Amino acid sequence: MSSFEQFNLPKSLQKAIDDLGFTTPTPIQEKAFPVIMSGRDMMGIAQTGTGKTFAYLLPLLKLYKFTPTQTPKIVILVPTRELVVQVAEEVEKLTKYMSVRTLGIYGGVNINTQKTAVFEGIDVLVGTPGRVMDLALDNYLRFEETQKLVIDEFDEMLNMGFRPQLTSILAMMRPKRQNILFSATMTDEVDQVLEDYFDYPEEVTLAASGTPLEQITQITYNVPNFNTKVNLLKHLLREDNSMERVLVFVN
């Protein structure tokens, strides 16, 4: 059976994984690790729930070398505020024993607070394309030291209309950098961005594009109103022992 020890991670990173109780890498983590470690651009086709966040974080943090700088060395773009919070928390868990400054930025909150945080210096930036672009246009965020760019859930970003911000951010980046992209589907629009901005990316595929993840059971509850919805959620969280780790999406 494979284990994270096969990745020969630094002791600080391995200890953080041990603290989290993880012992065995997922298939996408095993496939992506050597590609990202090689420094090549990568295109990953993987569904939510496959462990793709750690698939790019582990090799990037293994490659990470601390040097004093005000601008981020690693930039991770995700489509929603909830994912910014989630990914930033994962970075903080993995860098528990490392000297890494992590910041998550997204819209809907005071931009001046985020400007102050950016000005103080960051190593890993996680953000939505819109807010990253806002801070870049205000000259608070620069990318001259950015060595690694991750675009997660790229197809979802395109569906949400973020292509103009994405292409503008890509144009601001230094030419010599490593690009890592994850998408659940491969479309003509995704392929066009890869052709324009990526350098012969290697494709890592866990499942056929658009294939539902087999481990995920989908259940629908028909509820007539908001109060019933809240009561059902409370009931499920209290009574269903399988719901130990829950992510709730709201709008």
Enumerate residues 6+ apart whose C-beta is below 8 A from 54.
Answer: 22, 25, 26, 29, 90, 94
Question: Which range among 70-84, 161-175, 206-220 shows the weakest confidence by mean pLDDT?
Answer: 206-220
Sheet (strand 42-45) strand order: 102-105, 124-127, 74-77, 148-151, 178-183, 42-45, 202-205
pLDDT of the residue at 103:
96
Instruction: Identify the structural domains of the chain with CATH numbers, from first to last.
Output: 4-209 (3.40.50.300)
pLDDT of the residue at 140:
93
11-57 tens-digit pLDDT: 999 999 999 999 999 999 999 999 999 999 999 998 777 889 999 99
Task: With a cut of 80, say whether residue 206 has pLDDT above it.
Answer: no
Mean pLDDT (the chain) is: 89
Q: How many CB atoms lie within 10 A of CB 233?
A: 15
Q: How confident is the model at residue 209 (pLDDT cuts 50, 70, 90)?
A: very low
The model carries a pTM of 0.82
CA distance 13 to 63: 11
3-state secondary structure of 54: helix
Going by the DSSP 8-state scheme, the letter that residue 122 receives in this structure is: -
216-248 tens-digit pLDDT: 677 888 888 888 888 888 888 888 877 777 777
CA distance 18 to 249: 29
**Percentage of the chain exceeding pLDDT 90:** 58
Task: With a cut of 80, say whether residue 78 has pLDDT above it.
Answer: yes
